Amino acid sequence: MSTQAETKAKAEALVPKFKFEKLLNQDQAGRRTSLLGTIDSLPALLILERAPFPSSPNYLASVPTTLQTLKNLGANDIYHWYLANSSSQNPSDETADLKINLIHPCTERHIKKYSKQGVRLVSETPQIYLERVRPYMQAQRDAGRLNWVFNIVEGRTEVEDVIYRTPFDAASLNEEGFLLLPDLNWDRQTLDALHLLGLVERRDIWSLRDLKKKHIPWLNHMKEKFIEATTKVYPSIEADQLKLYVHYQPTYYHFHIHIVHVQLEAGATQATGKAVGLDSIISQLETMGGGDEAGMDRTTMSYTLGEASDLWVEVFEPLKRAGGKASQSQ
């Protein structure tokens, strides 16, 4: 009978003998890869999955200073994004194993957003929106946190990244104008993880709450153009392989639409309580009673918030303590 040590040694000896034949699949945005091949002339499947980052402070402190390659993909205001190689074995763009986002200088709000925290499910009624959330949105816009968006919309940065935009005049922004470019979270290589961002030129629509029945033709036109442009630039992707959605609450209060590949695995950013399908919004507006001015500000929206977020601390937690039914723990 083999000992445990012998069994482990025998198992460990198999992997180096794997002879690659075919890539079967990549999922989890390319972080898991399934390969077909042989070991000792017998068919074998090898599934490679990137392990979680070690949590050792020494390791984490060493990562930025030990990168073998670092290529900037873009920079706008305080945001920078890169592809990098942590391995010294044949470092290149093709073998890059890290997608890095840098926010510098970051704010306390950024730190809260990216920190581990509890999550709450809240219900935002039209009254809460009007009296509490809308003023909060106004305060965020007044704080100058949209500079990086305006840089793009006004053609000052990321011009070379724009995939499509309506006729543009920097002297006079088009009320129905919009543009399309890669989202900073996409590595610009893995098509199954494609993530594009559609930005509108107009500044009076902060979120889906500002959409009204009169905007339906404009929304349909944007949807058509975003899909058309995406499938033209990435011809291996077909129209029915794309999802379009918006976030509520969004990260920033300038209306934008996310365009992603349907195989991009749905993490927290696509989950119920965060993402709302563009088709669902259009349908809701179409079936809504009232005239052209009737809109999404009349509905009750349920969504998730981190307990460290300003919106929870400043709006919904006080409502809960005052006896309202604004939230449920998750």
**Per-residue confidence (pLDDT) for residue 179, from 0 to 100:** 96
Closest-CA residue to 70 (of 89, 83, 61, 87): 83
Give me the sheet containing 164-165, strands edge to edge.
164-165, 178-182, 195-200, 256-261, 242-247, 275-277
The tens digit of pLDDT for each residue in 139-184 reads: 999 988 898 899 999 988 888 999 999 987 767 767 889 999 999 8
Q: How confident is the model at residue 187 (pLDDT cuts 50, 70, 90)?
A: confident
* Residue 185, pLDDT above cutoff 70: yes
**Per-residue confidence (pLDDT) for residue 77, from 0 to 100:** 87
On average, the pLDDT of the chain sits at 89
Q: How confident is the model at residue 76 (pLDDT cuts 50, 70, 90)?
A: confident
Cis amide prior to 105 (ω within 30 degrees): yes
* Residue 92, pLDDT above cutoff 90: no
The tens digit of pLDDT for each residue in 16-73 reads: 999 999 999 877 666 788 899 999 999 999 888 888 888 899 989 998 988 888 888 8
* Residue 328, pLDDT above cutoff 60: no
**Per-residue confidence (pLDDT) for residue 6, from 0 to 100:** 85
Question: How confident is the model over 309-329, as a mean pLDDT?
Answer: 81
Q: How confident is the model at residue 329 (pLDDT cuts 50, 70, 90)?
A: very low
Which range, 20-34, 88-102, 242-256, 311-325, is most confident? 242-256
* Residue 330, pLDDT above cutoff 60: no
Do residues 307 and 117 make contact, with C-beta atoms less than 8 angstroms apart?
Answer: yes
Do residues 238 and 226 make contact, with C-beta atoms less than 8 angstroms apart?
Answer: no
CA atoms within 13 A on the CB side of 259: 27
Give catalytic residues, as residue numbers: 256
Query: What single-letter amino acid sits at 5?
Result: A
Q: Answer with the residue of higher pLDDT: 307 or 144.
A: 307
The tens digit of pLDDT for each residue in 215-268 reads: 999 999 999 999 999 999 999 999 999 999 999 999 999 999 999 999 887 666
Q: How confident is the model at residue 134 (pLDDT cuts 50, 70, 90)?
A: very high
Question: How confident is the model over 269-292, as a mean pLDDT?
Answer: 91
Q: What is the pTM of this model?
A: 0.82
**Whole-number Å distance between alpha carbons of 138 and 204:** 11
